[in-house]
Amino acid sequence: MTDKIGVLGKKSPQRTGVERIVNAPLPTVYGQFRAVGYMDHDRGDEQVALVHGDIGTDGVLTRLHSECLTGDAFGSQHCECGDQLSSALKAVVAEGSGIVVYLRGHEGRGIGLLAKLRAMALQAEGLDTVEANLALGLPVDARDYGVAAKILQDLGVNSVRLMSNNPRKQEALVRHGIQVAETVPLLIPPCESNITYLRTKRERLDHVLPHLDAVAHLS
């Protein structure tokens, strides 16, 4: 038996919700941050918010960054994720305050690392990112931003200036009780390796990417 037995032989209740576990200083190449760690008891994920400066409560410059091992750690040019993370960290330091919520469990828009790699293999054969997920019998986007809203609420944030090109993030935050005072574009210059992927995000996933119009020469 793995459940703990409490008084009178009753099982201890399972914890639910999002719990703050630790707050540690984190010096980075971008500047000084606080790494505020959380446990999402509902999903079993460990989460972290990188907080810079005195964030206040309203209009906080914020990035909700979905975990992307290939982009964030390996510098993949299949996507723009690594550059977006770097740009967001630089932006909050330049602002003097802000938050980057790094959302684990969001790999491959929520399908997981190995499934994402399988989808990338299908994209190499000619499918776009939406078609590849569907060909694998997987959702196009399975991400849930409820945990991000709970983290922001725990940090005392009422409203954000959201660094994102994805209107669905804004809609999700508002639905979970965080107001979005402004959407701040986070546009990364495309390259030959990711231009098709980015065009699919604009055309099929409603991302706001007006800068792609200037790079029609890329295949």
CA pair distance 88, 163, nearest whole angstrom: 7
The residue written with tokens 């940090």 in the block is 155
| Catalytic residue list contains 199 | no
Q: How far apart are CA 19 and CA 7, in angstroms?
A: 24
Q: Are strands 98-103 and 45-52 parallel, antiparallel or unpaired?
A: antiparallel
Question: What are the structure tokens assigned to 81, written together?
Answer: 């994720």
In the set 141, 144, 154, 202, the catalytic residue is 141
Catalytic residue list contains 43: no
Instruction: Choose, from 63, 118, 143, 161, the residue flagged as catalytic.
Output: 143
Distance of CA 76 to the CA centre of its chain: 17
Other CB atoms within 10 A of residue 75 CB: 10
Single-letter amino acid code for the residue at 155: L
Taking alpha carbons only, the member of 101, 102, 194 closest to residue 155 is: 101
Q: Which positions are annotated as active-site residues? A: 141, 143
